[in-house]
Structure 1
């Protein structure tokens, strides 16, 4: 009766593979002896071959032999050889059973959904981490607690609309998310592409709001969705928020994003000769600062530029503030405390530097101001986050210094009515129609399509919109 086979663990090293047993395991033996013993093992059903798992290649386990080393030299060599064959067969079987299906599943709906869920989780983690960092900086005061509670209620009321827009944002093939435009954190933009691809499309480069603290590119998804349905491409530009960055960082990021759009939008189907710049709330202020700063660079000697103000057909400011000297105390009364606001704006001395309304009045910058494109400012008269006078006064100042500008005011509309509640209400949205009319001016074919466009679908019941309007912290 054949001798029982002993348990042996084989460790693979760079010098010795399983098919070339290490000399430390056994001395050389004849090929005939190996083949005879191997056949004996395979023919004997009572023989048991014990080896370590092939997945533990880098772990050597010391075992105490049951018989003396002299009586098991040949058996040990046989086991090493048999282990090698067994490992190779199992390795090939694993490759067949796991690797090939994974290749054939590439691009499957299940994997696509998994990627989207992973992306959403990563985005949520980023926002949560930055929010916690911000809370540590701000402290938890009474006004901030009330603001966050109000924000929670507001978001809950608009949740049906957020879910529908979020589904579109993550799963629509018309949305290209997180296109890299720079090397800084959050130098990303989302691109909303029209379904109709018959020729280059006008482009709106959009900078989202968020009180310079909670801005995020996805906040523009509702606007991007609706404008793309009217054959207008939208690029939502993300930027560093406070405390990740201060005002100069935000302006720099926005300018880089605008540069990317101006220089690369043609390859996505956009018309480089019809680019419009737009910002909402804090984003309107940031975009205006970037526009004015770029005009100054173009008239300064030795300044290198990557885009030109002449590439922007018009600037749209939605519910923005453009004179920080007039707003710092108002923001303080609303809970954006003076100390925090000045930290965002890099100190009190920088308030003039980041106030476009003040800058354009500097007589030494007359040449730069003359380069500015037409400027249209939208604002609701019941806006209590940023008073509508901010847009009205800026438009009048621009007109005095020779810039084509106008303010369009919407009676009874709040800060969020013109950007969220009205678009989610469906039907006709006056601000949206005004915006589209300006972009499509001079394009009879697009105007004809706009006239025949079906009314937009309601996303949120009316009673929830009314409650959201009452509890809105903005």
Structure 2
């Protein structure tokens, strides 16, 4: 009997087993790195949470708000679980890309499945009262905009007490710089970049934008990105004048002493109040460099009243900047960002964003018009209960 075929078969099987083992071993380090990164982030957030509790104390008001927050999250959990699944397992989401050397200098990228040509880009800065902001809070917006051929970069940044307002502004500016200089590698169009922030993220991103414009108008400091690279700024439910907000926040549980610690004392209020700073005669040249600014706000927002956006738009117009305010009657602080997107179907804010970002792109606008209604993620009864109990 000729043994050569048996030897060849044995050798081939041996090589196949080696390839399978090698493939598993190459995947194993990636999984270990992912688990290690998740463990490190979990430890960091837990440690900062305990540090934060020492600042806040555990009074009656904070306990009731924490209970309300837990119930609010429970009612919206069917939607959160679906979004979380895509966030962790979709190949369209590139998580924790490093943009700087400070803690939490990370961003998440949401990429469209369609890669036929450079895509417009939205740099998004999440809210969280300067205390609980996290890049994953923007996953719902990121996934939904990616479905419409828009790349979204959700920035993480140091929260209090890990950092104060100047650290947050520096982190966000560094993240914007990273996107402006590197997004082409991910299929983004560096000539179609939009900056957007929500709540505290709107305040931080507005500070970063104005600070950059002031640097450029002075011409004295080197810059790594330019406001001219931004097509527009979107501010959602933001506050832009700290002098007007400190008492309001104190009455809602973000006590004056904590707020002053976050904002580095009352002496820093002017520097970190875009509405005030834009009216300073020394900032007039910077105002002319700003991109078009569009602010969105709900009239039933009790966390940050809609007058905050109205006053900022009025101040911008007074100094010659291009600004627009869009109010949504009866909408709360979280309706525009959470409940409405989770409800699915037509969404006026989402449609407005698409109209601005895709302006001039007839093919993209036609696709938007033909796109199927967005899927409902949470039953209406749970959305209504969540709205009723929301602590925001």
Shorter-chain TM-score category? over 0.9
Deviation for aligned residue 1:119: 4.8
Name the CA distance, whole Å, in 2 between partners of 1:275 and 1:231. Answer: 13
Name the CA distance, whole Å, in 2 between partners of 1:402 and 1:194. Answer: 36
The one of 73, 79, 83 aligned to 1:161: 79
| RMSD after superposition | 1.8
Unaligned regions of 5+ residues in structure 1, if any?
1-95
Native 8 Å contact 2:122 2:153 kept in 1:
yes
**Correspondence 1:366-377 to 2 at 5 A:** 366-377=284-295
Large movers: runs of 4+ above 6 Å: 98-101, 110-115
Matched residue, 1:214: 132
Native 8 Å contact 2:55 2:258 kept in 1:
no
The one of 280, 290, 308 aligned to 1:390: 308
Task: Give a deviation string over 1:190-243, Cα, whole Å, max 9, x none.
Answer: 000000000000000000000000000000000000000000000001100000
Name the CA distance, whole Å, in 2 between partners of 1:305 and 1:320. Answer: 26
Name the CA distance, whole Å, in 2 between partners of 1:125 and 1:469. Answer: 31
Native 8 Å contact 1:212 1:282 kept in 2:
yes
TM-score scaled by length of structure 1 = 0.77
Matched residue, 1:357: 275
2:112 aligned with 1:194, yes or no?
A: yes
Deviation for aligned residue 1:131: 1.3
Native 8 Å contact 1:331 1:337 kept in 2:
yes
Matched residue, 2:9: none
2:221 aligned with 1:303, yes or no?
A: yes
Name the CA distance, whole Å, in 1 between partners of 2:32 and 2:370. Answer: 39
Unaligned regions of 5+ residues in structure 2, if any?
1-14
Native 8 Å contact 1:116 1:171 kept in 2:
no
Task: Give a deviation string over 1:369-411, Cα, whole Å, max 9, x none.
Answer: 1101100000011101000110111111111111110110111
2:24 aligned with 1:105, yes or no?
A: yes
**Correspondence 1:112-127 to 2 at 5 A:** 119-127=37-45
Name the larger-Rg structure.
1
Deviation for aligned residue 1:278: 0.2
Matched residue, 1:444: 362
Task: Give a deviation string over 1:348-367, Cα, whole Å, max 9, x none.
Answer: 11011100000110112211
Deviation for aligned residue 1:127: 2.3
Name the CA distance, whole Å, in 1 between partners of 2:220 and 2:230. Answer: 22
Name the CA distance, whole Å, in 2 between partners of 1:320 and 1:255. Answer: 18
Matched residue, 1:137: 55
Name the CA distance, whole Å, in 2 between partners of 1:159 and 1:112. Answer: 29
**2:218 partner SS:** coil
**1:299 partner SS:** helix
Deviation for aligned residue 1:247: 0.3
Give the number of the structure with larger relative contact order, counting CA–CA contacts within 8 Å between residues 6 or more apart.
2
2:177 aligned with 1:259, yes or no?
A: yes
TM-score scaled by length of structure 2 = 0.93
Matched residue, 1:378: 296
Native 8 Å contact 1:275 1:312 kept in 2:
yes
Name the CA distance, whole Å, in 1 between partners of 2:353 and 2:152. Answer: 13
Deviation for aligned residue 1:118: 5.5
Task: Give a deviation string over 1:23-60, Cα, whole Å, max 9, x none.
Answer: xxxxxxxxxxxxxxxxxxxxxxxxxxxxxxxxxxxxxx
Aligned length: 377
Deviation for aligned residue 1:135: 0.6
Name the CA distance, whole Å, in 1 between partners of 2:18 and 2:240. Answer: 58
Q: As a proportion of its length, which structure holds more helix? A: 2
Q: 1:105 to 1:354 in 2, by over 3 A?
A: same
Task: Give a deviation string over 1:234-266, Cα, whole Å, max 9, x none.
Answer: 000110000000000000000000000000000
**1:105 partner SS:** helix
The one of 220, 223, 227 aligned to 2:145: 227
Native 8 Å contact 1:280 1:317 kept in 2:
yes
Q: 1:166 to 1:118 in 2, by over 3 A?
A: farther
Q: 1:115 to 1:429 in 2, by over 3 A?
A: farther
Native 8 Å contact 2:358 2:364 kept in 1:
yes
2:161 aligned with 1:243, yes or no?
A: yes
Name the CA distance, whole Å, in 1 between partners of 2:62 and 2:68. Answer: 10
Native 8 Å contact 1:116 1:170 kept in 2:
no
